[in-house]
Amino acid sequence: MKFQNMTIKEIKSWLDNTAEEHVVQHLKALEKDGRQGVKRLAQSWERRIQLKEERERHWEHIQRHEKELREQGYNFIAGVDEVGRGPIAGPVVAAAVILPQDFKLVGINDSKQLSKEDRETYDTYIREHALDYHIAFVDAKDIDRMNIYQATVQAMKDALTTMTMKPEYALIDAVRLSHLSYPSRSIVKGDANSVSIAAASIIAKVARDRWMEEIANLYPQYGFERHKGYGTKEHWQALNEKGPTPIHRKSFIQQQMTITLGEQS
């Protein structure tokens, strides 16, 4: 290619409409071009390729637990994760997901590491391709009654036990679940280290966010659609002015107030 005879706009058009493997063959020539605009185009393409390679490496990393278990003869592996342990309002939500062996979604990761747009896109893809999944909610009243850890365990167990397809093995993010009728493994930071747990993390996060956005219509003055129940400055201000709603976790609020009073004394 004789890039020196092309304008920067023409080079950009060529890059945008040329197969990646062909572009790679010409990146060195573009980097040697004396025009800064052309150099920036080449650097942008290099970053794009590096990102793609990183995502491919992460994909190999994140499915290693499932590969190991399938080699041992387990075919129906459930990933389990929860979201919403930290907020002062709203439910804790868990999801359990069984993915097919040929499932592939490069870029899947811990839901907190993804943009809202990617989570929504991945959520749709996971639901369409999963062999089975279920989402379970434990509300604020039950969180206050049993404490957040037990509520998290309850949500995870509910998500698993209400699936139509019975798992042969469960991969669980950080928490150990007892009294399951099949083996399980707790994985620290599982949503970044297991594709099944990552999938559960995503659909649980999207389900909880949508629930908080819907409940915001009942309590528009609290801003639930923005902070999703977390203790932001905006949320605490609304809480101090208007008091708690039925979806607030009274035990969390009391604990935070006790801590604040202790720090002031």
Q: What is the pLDDT of residues 106-121, one digit of tens each?
A: 999 989 889 999 999 9
> What is the percentage of the chain residues whose pLDDT exceeds 70?
97
CATH code that applies to domain 64-211: 3.30.420.10
pLDDT above 80: residue 32: yes
pLDDT above 70: residue 43: yes
Structure tokens at 213: 């956005």
Please give the pLDDT value at position 235.
96
Domain ranges within the chain, ordered by starting residue: 3-61, 64-211, 215-264
Question: Do 206 and 119 touch, CB atoms closer than 8 A?
Answer: yes
- For residues 226 and 246, give the distance between their C-alpha atoms in angstroms, rounded to a whole number: 18
Looking at this protein, which amino acid is placed at residue 77? I
Spell out the alpha helix ranges (H) of the chain.
8-16, 20-24, 27-31, 36-62, 64-71, 116-129, 140-146, 148-161, 195-215, 224-227, 233-242, 250-264
The pLDDT mean for the chain works out to 93
The residues with which 136 forms a beta bridge, in sequence order, are 94
pLDDT above 50: residue 167: yes
Residue 64 CA, chain-centre distance (Å), reads 18
Please give the pLDDT value at position 165.
97
Please give the pLDDT value at position 166.
95
pLDDT band of residue 260 (cuts 50, 70, 90) is: low
- Note the pTM of the prediction, 2 decimals: 0.85
Contacting residues for 7 by C-beta, under 8 A, at least 6 apart: none
Tell me the C-alpha to C-alpha distance, in Å, between residue 81 and each of 3, 132, 217, 218, 249: 51, 15, 27, 28, 21
- Between 1 and 204, where is the model more confident? 204
pLDDT above 50: residue 140: yes
